[in-house]
Structure formats: structure tokens, C-alpha cells
């Protein structure tokens, strides 16, 4: 149903308007427990232990989660959990509330089933988002992570200020999040990706780990790093004893797109997400697993639309995966459908569970 009329209606709207409409439509599900139960019964398959994943001391009913960016302010977490996701990553939030970058800042590339965004972490601020999430935590039945980023008002070259800014966000969200993702890789905040350089990353992550030694901290990394720079950042992750990485963020590359070049050029700057990122995400996950070993947690992100994509990232070394752009193109039934597909793949392969399927 979604891939027909409903998606056509939403895609006739500007992307930002469509997103606001989708969040509005989830409002009744968010606020009525009986409606959430009905949606869960109608949409989500019964939990199947064969696709469960246990990492970081947490139980994930499915390896597929929702990536940061869809619910930046934790306004629809309960509704989204009812759709069949195995976890949610909310945010990205910043210590200081801030508006989006100037519009237009979100674009669809239907020929590539991709998105380009240059939103720049619009959010209500870490304190308000943490309070909102804290008020609903008891109703959440899946693990919830929160992504934190740098406030736009803090200059990227003021490392002490940057660390203080991230620390403030970490302090506010750590009590309500099962894990925290440190986003140093969005291309839409000036100077942010410079924080992936070894000397900056080491001081930032080292400080955050010292201030919150019991918090599960992961680092979100860019797909555009050279192999040498990626290895240096992974060495910092290992050295600071962070829990792991989220691989990857959006890309600034425009190579290999089906969309007409003039259209791509007219859109301009921003992070590209969706299927064009899939192959690079697999490469980065493979390299991260080889460098970090089996103990680190790796969440793979990039172009997830079907169960085969989930398995491919897990075979590359991911413990968990996330989708965002695929959720936009495939609709609210996607997480439950992918969960069913994973069970079917397990049964077709004669495997006992997802772990055995991935090893095959």
C-alpha cells in the first residue's frame, strides 16, 4: 500500500513537509498505548529468538534499528518501536538548541532511491530531549540510543569548547539512553569532520570516556575517510576503549549516481544517503572489524532496504544495522517485513539462527 498511493502523495510534497506529516501521523500511536498495541499486533511479527542479538549487555529483538535523523527530538519513540525496529537511535542532539540550516535543506533522488540533506542538527537541545525521553523510558521495549553532536555556536577550532559542549550533551542524555553515539562525521556542521583527526578525536573521546566510564559510547564515522585516516580513527576508538563505531554517516561523494548530473549539481552540498552508500559501508565495516577485533560493537548503516542487505553488512562484521533512507522509500512496514525476511532466510538455509546464517 505504501509503495503505491501513499508514497506518491508524500513524494508529491517537499521532503521536509512530508517528514513533518509522517511524524504527525505517528502522533496518535505515540500517545495511545492501546493504539500502539494494535499497530504492533497488525504490523510487527511475533518476536523470534532466532533473529535476536545480544551485545553491549543489551538484548535486541532484531538486528535492524532506525538510524539517527528521523526522530531528532524523541517525539515518536514509542510509535516507532511499535513498527518492529530492534532499536532506535534518536537525535542528533546538541547541548544548545538550534534551528536547521537554511531551506531548502533536504532533497530526494528517486532514481537512486537516495536522499541528500544539509539539515545541520536541528533539535530542541539535549536537556529538553533527555527530559522527554526520560518521561517515556518505562514504555520502551527495545534499546534506545541517542546521538550527540557539536552545537553550531561553538567554533570547531576551539577544542576545549567543543569538548565541553559534547560533555554537556553526554551528561544530559547518558541517564536515559542505553548507548550514546558521538557524531563527529556529519558533513553539515562546519569543521565537524576535522574532529575525526587523531589528535582531536583522542582528546575528545578520551575525555568523554573519563567523564562517563560506565556509558556505552560509540563513534559515528564518515565513509569518506581514506583508509589511512580511518585506521588512525579506529586506533583512537581502541585506545580510548569506546564501545565501538557506527559505520557510516552520509557521504559527500556523488560518484555513480543515476540522477541527472544537472539535478545533482543544482542540489549542491549535503550528505548523500541510501543505496549509493551501500558498498562503501560494507568496506568500512570490514575494515573496522579487522582493526577492532571481535569485542567491539559495530553498527552498519548504508542502503538497507531488504534482509539481504542486513546479512551482507553482518557478514562484513556488523553486530547490528540501521536504516533511514530505506525507511523513507519503503515505508512504515519495512522493519517488520525485513524481520520476516530474515526468518525466512534462516529457514531456507537450514540454519538455527541469524548468527549461523551469517557464518554460512
Instruction: Specify the pairing of strand 144-148 against strand 114-117.
Output: unpaired
Neighbours of 293 (CB within 10 A): 8
∠ Cα 295 305 260 (to 5°): 120
Q: Is the pLDDT of residue 2 over 80?
A: no
Q: Is the pLDDT of residue 232 over 80?
A: yes
Q: How many domains does the chain have?
A: 1
Model pTM above 0.85: yes
| Helix (H/G/I), strand (E/B), else coil: 295 | coil
Q: Is the pLDDT of residue 1 over 90?
A: no
> How much is the pLDDT for 131?
98
What CA–CA distance (Å, rounded) separates 298 from 342? 19
pLDDT digits (tens, 9 = 90+) for 98-109: 999 999 999 999
Q: What is the mean pLDDT of residues 44-48?
A: 85
Asked whether the beta carbons of 325 and 333 are under 8 A apart, the reply is no
∠ Cα 125 130 133 (to 5°): 125
Q: Which long-range contacts (CB under 8 A, 24 or more apart) does 12-20 make?
A: 14/104, 14/106, 15/106, 15/107, 15/108, 15/115, 16/103, 16/104, 16/105, 16/106, 19/70, 19/106
DSSP 100: P
> How much is the pLDDT for 5?
82
> How much is the pLDDT for 46?
82
> How much is the pLDDT for 306?
98
> How much is the pLDDT for 352?
98
pLDDT tier for residue 176 given thresholds of 50, 70 and 90: very high
Q: Is the pLDDT of residue 241 over 80?
A: yes
Mean pLDDT of the chain: 97
Q: Which domain holds residue 279?
A: 2-359
What CA–CA distance (Å, rounded) separates 70 from 88? 10
pLDDT digits (tens, 9 = 90+) for 269-283: 999 999 999 999 999
Asked whether the beta carbons of 124 and 73 are under 8 A apart, the reply is yes
- Maximum pairwise Cα distance, the chain: 55
The dihedral through the CA atoms of 344, 350, 356, 359 has a sign that is: negative
Asked whether the beta carbons of 112 and 258 are under 8 A apart, the reply is yes
What CA–CA distance (Å, rounded) separates 359 from 6? 38
> How much is the pLDDT for 328?
97
Provide CB contacts within 8 A for 114, sequence distance 6+: 108, 257, 259, 272, 273, 274, 275, 276, 277, 325
pLDDT tier for residue 298 given thresholds of 50, 70 and 90: very high
Distances (CA, A) of 336 to 29, 61, 206, 296: 16, 11, 38, 27
Q: Is the pLDDT of residue 130 over 70?
A: yes
Kindly list the catalytic residues.
Answer: 186
pLDDT digits (tens, 9 = 90+) for 321-350: 999 999 999 999 999 999 999 999 999 999
Nearest CA to 163 out of 185, 146, 178, 148 is that of 148
CATH number of the domain to which 126 belongs: 3.20.20.70
What CA–CA distance (Å, rounded) separates 17 from 11? 10
Amino acid at each position: 500500500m505504501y509503495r503505491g498511493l501513499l508514497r506518491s502523495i508524500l513524494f508529491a510534497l517537499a521532503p521536509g513537509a512530508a517528514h513533518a506529516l509522517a511524524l504527525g501521523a505517528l502522533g496518535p500511536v505515540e500517545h495511545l498505548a492501546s493504539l500502539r498495541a494494535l499497530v504492533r499486533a497488525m504490523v510487527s511479527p511475533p518476536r523470534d529468538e532466532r533473529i535476536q542479538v545480544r551485545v553491549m549487555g543489551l538484548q535486541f529483538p532484531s538486528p535492524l534499528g532506525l538510524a539517527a535523523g528521523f526522530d531528532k527530538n524523541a517525539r515518536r519513540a514509542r510509535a516507532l518501536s511499535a513498527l518492529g525496529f530492534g532499536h532506535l537511535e534518536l537525535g542528533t542532539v546538541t547541548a544548545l538548541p538550534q534551528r536547521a540550516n537554511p531551506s531548502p535543506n533536504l532533497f530526494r533522488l528517486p532514481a537512486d532511491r537516495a536522499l541528500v540533506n544539509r539539515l545541520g542538527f536541528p533539535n530542541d537541545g539535549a536537556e529538553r530531549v533527555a527530559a522527554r525521553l526520560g518521561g517515556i523510558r518505562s514504555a520502551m521495549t527495545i534499546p534506545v540510543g541517542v546521538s550527540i553532536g557539536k552545537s553550531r555556536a561553538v567554533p570547531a577550532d576551539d577544542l576545549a569548547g567543543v569538548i565541553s559542549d559534547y560533555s554537556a550533551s553526554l551528561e544530559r542524555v547518558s541517564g536515559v539512553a542505553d548507548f550514546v553515539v558521538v557524531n563527529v562525521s556529519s558533513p553539515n556542521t562546519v569543521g565537524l569532520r576535522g574532529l575525526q583527526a587523531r589528535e582531536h578525536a583522542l582528546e575528545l573521546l578520551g575525555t568523554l570516556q573519563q567523564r562517563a566510564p560506565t556509558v556505552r559510547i560509540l563513534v559515528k564515522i564518515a565513509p569518506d575517510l581514506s583508509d589511512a585516516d580511518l585506521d588512525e580513527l579506529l586506533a583512537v576508538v581502541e585506545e580510548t576503549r569506546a564501545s565501538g563505531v557506527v559505520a557510516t554517516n552520509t557521504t559527500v561523494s556523488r560518484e555513480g549516481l543515476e540522477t541527472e548530473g544537472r539535478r545533482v549539481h543544482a542540489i549542491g552540498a549535503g550528505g548523500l544517503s541510501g543505496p549509493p552508500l551501500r558498498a562503501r559501508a560494507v568496506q568500512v565495516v570490514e575494515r573496522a572489524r579487522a582493526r577492532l577485533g571481535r569485542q567491539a560493537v559495530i553498527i552498519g548503516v548504508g542502503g538497507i532496504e531488504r534482509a539481504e542487505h542486513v546479512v551482507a553488512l553482518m557478514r562484513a562484521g556488523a553486530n547490528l544495522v540501521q536504516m533511514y533512507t530505506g525507511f523513507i522509500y519503503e515505508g512504515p512496514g519495512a522493519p517488520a517485513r525485513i524481520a520476516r525476511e530474515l526468518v525466512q532466510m534462516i529457514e531456507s538455509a537450514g540454519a538455527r539462527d541469524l548468527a549461523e546464517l551469517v557464518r554460512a
